[in-house]
Chains A and B, each alone.
Chain A
């Protein structure tokens, strides 16, 4: 792994990305916009399920409005994140906190997908009663918690340098 990362770190692509004064800031900006989309959708879905947001609107309608934003944001985040990694391969790929973030993203994505299916099914079957389902509420809290954990892990990468 370290050998491969070293080859990448010495590549012309990394040199080009790192030497540019605008590529990394632009990728960071788009990445932040993607984070806004994911977090907004996740918050609204989870808060609705917990009964803290738009309690009179069907869950399926909230999911239909906001979750597409989350699914569109993920490939944007993946591609801008990929370029940010290429601009500093060693600081990311060899970083334990970065690896934790990757695992958390996978857990959050799967949790959200299951949560979405469950909610839409429950909402069609039970109408508003779906929101009172304790299982759904647990999933809502879990989904929100894992996305926030992704955010925290992402921020902590900069502070994890083994020695730092």
Chain B
């Protein structure tokens, strides 16, 4: 009887999992992955968090102020494999970012690559979002993850 109840519970849970394939992160549909735009700004915060890391950038606005662009990255385990680290940038750093913008036109997007103040370009390469074209480095060569 207990075994039967356990089986029923497992089946119920499996059914629950089947309708809940994505959890605590959203689909990529909110980003326009066919478009890549470049923004420049000052780092407000680099959130080394899971399931997604975030780069909050202040981008100069037309009115002389600045606008906050929250840029979503893949998860830190992928970023580590692509050569990124928590300490690679700090608030106040000037950054150039290649991003896939939000479809809604609001400020924000998915990170494809960033250029650090040193001029070093860090790509998420094959760890970037699905169907994202390989990012080219400044000299036109493809940047491999981890390089």
Interface residues of A (CB under 8 A from B): 6, 9, 14-15, 17-21, 23-24, 28, 31-33, 35-37, 39-40, 69, 84, 87-91, 157-159, 161-164
Contact = CB atoms under 8 A, between A and B. Distances in A.
A69 B16 CA distance: 15
Nearest to B48: A18
A60 B26 CA distance: 40
A164 B102 CA distance: 8
19 contacts: A15-B86, A18-B49, A19-B80, A20-B50, A21-B75, A21-B77, A28-B23, A32-B16, A33-B13, A35-B16, A87-B49, A88-B49, A88-B51, A90-B45, A91-B52, A163-B69, A163-B70, A164-B30, A164-B108
A159 B45 CA distance: 19
Nearest to B107: A163
Contacts of A32: 13, 16-17, 20, 23
Counting contact residues on chain B (CB < 8 A from A), the size range is 20 to 34
Interface of B: 9, 12-13, 16-17, 20, 23-26, 30, 45, 47-54, 68-70, 75-77, 80, 86, 102, 106-108
A28 B86 contact: no
A161 B86 contact: no
A158 B70 CA distance: 13
B108 A28 contact: no
A24 B51 contact: yes
A20 B77 CA distance: 6
Given A161-B70, A164-B108, A91 B49 contact: yes
Nearest to B87: A15
Nearest to A33: B13
B49 A28 contact: no
Given A24-B50, A164-B70, A158 B80 contact: no
A6 B13 CA distance: 36
Contacts of B68: 163
A95 to B, nearest CB: 12
Contacts of B75: 18, 21, 24
Contacts of A161: 70, 108
Given A91-B54, A163-B108, A15 B48 contact: yes
Given A18-B48, A20-B50, 19 more contacts: A18-B49, A18-B76, A19-B48, A19-B77, A23-B50, A24-B50, A24-B75, A28-B23, A31-B23, A32-B13, A32-B16, A33-B16, A88-B47, A88-B52, A91-B47, A157-B24, A163-B70, A163-B106, A164-B70
A88 B108 CA distance: 18
A40 B69 CA distance: 40
A60 to B, nearest CB: 18
Contact of A164 (B13, B23, B47, B106): B106
Nearest to A6: B45
A9 to B, nearest CB: 6
